[in-house]
């Protein structure tokens, strides 16, 4: 994994995802929180700004959270893609704010030195990869066509969607690196991410193709 955080690129993609995904409360909330990526990487935000705390939880139950409403989760194994291979990520997504519900978007983003997914001098396979994301809490497919067939995923450039509204945690936040403790019902959903490298001639022609991807989880206050 060779991920480098590209704040302007990621922030712009959050806004574009919000524009593409719809209107109404969730859309407005995400637009109002367009600076949330930069905030998550900067000193703690003033509570008056309305930026809330979104957390991710790894399969061990360990929390990752910063002082803001976005988290980047590297997708493991994506820097060694071979034709026909699927890499997978299991991650929990939670509203870590005691009192404020969250409108949450998820996106799979190309990272790397230039934001294209390129890893060093290796052939960049990002443009061929197909993404599927399922909300395993509800069973709903957020991105792609089938959890059972990763070949029905969508290109990385189209891999953005709205997650259901998350309820406020209803308890004190869980700190970064701490073990997760449940909050109120509806404050956490779990995601299964699949990235499939198709077995096609264009991919087979590449020697040692690689890609650097991360899952972006971003949220903003919602009624």
Q: Per residue in 181-207, pLDDT tens?
A: 999 999 999 999 999 999 999 999 999
Contact 154, 131 (CB under 8 A): yes
Angle at 62 between CA 54 and CA 50, to 5 degrees: 15
In order, the DSSP letters of 61-124 are SBEE--SSSEEEEE-TTTTS--TT-EEEEEEEEEE--SS-EEEEEEEEEE-STTSS---TTS-B
Contact 112, 2 (CB under 8 A): yes
Classified as helix, coil or strand, 126 is helix
Q: What is the pLDDT of residue 69?
A: 78
Residues of the chain with pLDDT under 70: 1-51, 67-68, 78-79
The first and second tokens of residue 89, run together, are: 């990520």
Classified as helix, coil or strand, 152 is helix
Instruction: Please give the span between the terminal C-alpha atoms of the chain, in angstroms, as a whole number.
Output: 37
Rounded Cα distance between 30 and 14, Å, is 8
Contact 89, 73 (CB under 8 A): yes
The first and second tokens of residue 22, run together, are: 């719809």
pTM above 0.85, yes or no: no
């Amino acid at each position: 994994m060779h991920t480098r955080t590209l704040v302007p690129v990621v922030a712009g993609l959050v806004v574009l995802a919000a524009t593409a995904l719809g209107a109404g409360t969730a859309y407005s909330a995400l637009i109002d929180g367009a600076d949330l990526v930069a905030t998550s990487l900067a000193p703690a935000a003033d509570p008056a700004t309305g930026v809330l705390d979104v957390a991710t939880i790894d399969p061990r139950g360990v929390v990752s959270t910063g002082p803001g409403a976005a988290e980047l989760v590297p997708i493991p194994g994506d820097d060694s893609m071979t034709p026909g291979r699927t890499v997978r990520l299991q991650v929990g997504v939670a509203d870590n704010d005691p009192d404020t519900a969250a409108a949450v978007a998820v996106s799979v983003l190309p990272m790397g030195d230039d934001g294209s997914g390129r890893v060093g001098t290796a052939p960049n396979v990002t443009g061929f990869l197909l993404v599927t994301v399922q909300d395993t809490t509800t069973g709903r497919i957020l991105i792609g066509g089938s959890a059972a067939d990763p070949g029905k995923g969508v290109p990385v450039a189209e891999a953005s969607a709205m997650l259901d509204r998350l309820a406020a945690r209803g308890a004190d936040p869980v700190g970064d690196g701490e073990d997760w403790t449940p909050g109120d019902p509806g404050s956490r959903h779990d995601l299964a991410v699949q990235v499939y490298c198709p077995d096609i001639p264009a991919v087979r022609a590449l020697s040692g193709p690689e890609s650097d991807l991360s899952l972006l989880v971003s949220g903003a206050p919602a009624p």
